[in-house]
Amino acid sequence: MQKWSENMGVIQTDQWLKVEFDRPTEICEKLLPYFKGQNANEIYNQLMKFGMYRPSRSSKMNLDRMIEQKVWKNADQLFQHYKNKWAGPDIPIFLFPLDRGRGLFFRQESNKSGVSYPDKMFLFLSDVDDTKELEALLVHEYHHVCRLKMLNKKMEEYTLLDSIIIEGLAEYAVLKNCGSEYLAKWCSIYTKKDLISLWDKYLKSHLSKRKNERAHDNLLFGEGRIPKLLGYAAGFAIVENYYKNHTYSTKLSFSIPASKFLEGSNEFG
């Protein structure tokens, strides 16, 4: 399998896309070794939820722009840098064009999205003129990978509190490594006063909800009457508050239990 580096790193999915762009399920056949027990259709449907493209004129233009911007090479250089800096795991990273009309845009941006697993990462992109934007997305998603790997729990064991803190920590890593101008918009969509009130009203009594319970995602992402991306915004605020009183260490941020961040916060209790 072609790669930019000798190890894992960014897989050259640009080569796959040049041949099979109009047949994304054929591309997902190449992902079968990374998704045990799933078929290509199941993989494609899963990835589409997070923003993977559907063949169209606009997504083809996205691909052409990504190739022109050397996104694969840039992403791999960034990955190698953070893998060494954080002593993180060597994983395969898959880049695909973004479908702007779909996906859970966690960063609430219109030109990028991603999804991470303990052993792999997917980035969905459209037009990334500013390489720092690519870096911010990679930092956020790779922080997830490192924390998931370090915590080493089954996905169904993660609670809402775990997920809230995972998102907050990943974006705090963006703040530390890329600067405040590259933070996701959801970090500042609520005032601190409103956030504390919403925390008490919607989240505080449901922190033990498991990832496989429907309420987990409803509360994390904001569904129905739940304010949009409330769990994300609360996570960043809790982590930011924690580090006002504690020294920041990226490597420790991979392993500190989620409960410690809540205990160390004097505003969210």
Neighbours of 20 (CB within 10 A): 17
Distance between CA atoms of residues 220 and 231, nearest Å? 4
pLDDT in tens, 18-30: 999 999 999 999 9
Residue 5: pLDDT band (50, 70, 90) is very low
Read off the pTM.
Answer: 0.92
- Among 151, 185, 210, the domain boundary falls at 151
pLDDT in tens, 156-204: 999 999 999 999 999 999 999 999 999 999 999 999 999 999 999 999 9
- Among 88, 118, 151, the domain boundary falls at 151
Residue 133 domain boundaries: 9-151
b/e sequence 107-134, b meaning 16+ C-beta within 10 Å: bebebbbbbbbbebbbbbbbbbeeeebb
Please indicate, yes or no, if residue 159 is contained in any of the structural domains: yes
Distance between CA atoms of residues 148 and 118, nearest Å? 5
Shared domain for 160 and 43, answered yes or no, is: no
- Among 136, 151, 166, the domain boundary falls at 151
